[in-house]
Amino acid sequence: MKRILTIALAAVLSTAAFAQTQTIYQFTPVRDIKATPVKDQARTGTCWCFATISFLESELLRQGKGEYDLSEMFVVRNNYSERIFDNYLRRGHGNINPGSIAHMATQVIERYGIVPESVYHGINYDSPGHNHGEMSAYLKGIADVSVNLKNLSPEYDKLIKSLFDIYLGEMPETFQYNGKEYTPKSFAKMLGFDDMSDYVELTSFSHHPFYEQVPLEIPDNWDNARLWNVPLEDMMRIIDNALENGYTVAWDGDLTAGEFNHNRGIAICPNPEDFAEAIKLEKVYPDRVVTQEMRQKDFETFRTVDDHLMHLTGLYKDQNGNKFYKTKNSWGEGRNTEMKGYLFMSKAYLEMRTVSFMVHKDAIPKDIRKKLGL
């Protein structure tokens, strides 16, 4: 095969064509779904929020409500407030790191509302982009003191609020948008996000019964939410059915070393005997045939962990007819400029490295919905 040395379609981001990576792979679209511009989470661990907000922005586009730029940091701040209290009740054994998973964003929006990015951009410090290193260190210090004192004093509440105000900015009680006044709650209601029950989070692991809501034992599921557990075959049917019918997917999975290459815009899952050559991306090697047992083994040996959340926005095929998923990342466009911040993940990569995902319930095939009682 002829190796691709240049990016022939780098400027085209449409259903007609999509940028190629500097690899042998050539991709053609099956279904490409409109999404809002790529953002940059920068020096934060808030991919869960960027991916889910991007997913919800695509939901608004799908529903014909127009293009919105929603505030990730409004959600992040409220999520921090909830998890700090959770950590206190757990006597310091909770998770106050930045990570979470998709339902925590929809949960915050349902409880507290949402605002546009223009109203709350969440950078109130001297930085061109998000950087939560210093804030997180102070946050841990305050949280540790409250745990050690076994008391949430009025001063503690003032300290937490002041910390977030200093770094992220004061929270808006009301704001103007397109000539109308809103509160965060009324803005969420206008968008149709006051009830998030249509959004379903799923996983696929065999140590729990299938077609039931089960715990997902990962640190970022710090609120112990239960996710619908489905077999691998149904997991992929749901994802494919969603994309084929114009629904996008909020994806949570592992960025496995070697297999995942954001700079070159590709993630594959080669056979072990081909691994060293396949990850050079100079020749198309067949991906692994993934089984439920293989997924389970890698999850139980911590080879597959919830590294990162991204947003699946399209279904593509390579020159050999193999299925790939167009994926919107939240690392800006600078790290893979030819792909404009996107990448392609292979079917086998999703089968092996998916930890959880969120879809609109209408995107789930009817027979699976029936088994889930949705």
pLDDT of 1 > 70? The answer is no
Instruction: Report which of 69, 63, 61 is spatially closest to residue 35, judged by C-alpha positions.
Output: 61
Q: Which long-range contacts (CB under 8 A, 24 or more apart) does 179-183 make?
A: 182/115, 183/113
**What spatial distance separates the first Cα and last Cα of the chain, rounded to whole Å?**
47
Mean of the pLDDT values across residues 347-356?
A: 98
Mean of the pLDDT values across residues 61-88?
A: 97
> Please, are residues 355 and 252 in contact by the beta-carbon 8 Å criterion?
yes
pLDDT of residue 338: 86
Q: Taking the domain 27-372, which CATH number applies?
A: 3.90.70.10
Q: What is the pLDDT of residues 180-215, one digit of tens each?
A: 999 999 999 999 999 999 999 999 999 999 999 999
Sign of CA dihedral 335, 336, 338, 342: negative
For 5, residues 6+ apart whose C-beta sits below 8 A from its C-beta are 22
What is the reported pTM? 0.92
Domain residue limits, the chain: 27-372
Instruction: Report which of 46, 70, 47 is spatially closest to residue 58, judged by C-alpha positions.
Output: 70
Where do runs of H (alpha helix) occur along 223-357?
232-244, 275-278, 292-300, 347-353
pLDDT of 95 > 70? The answer is yes
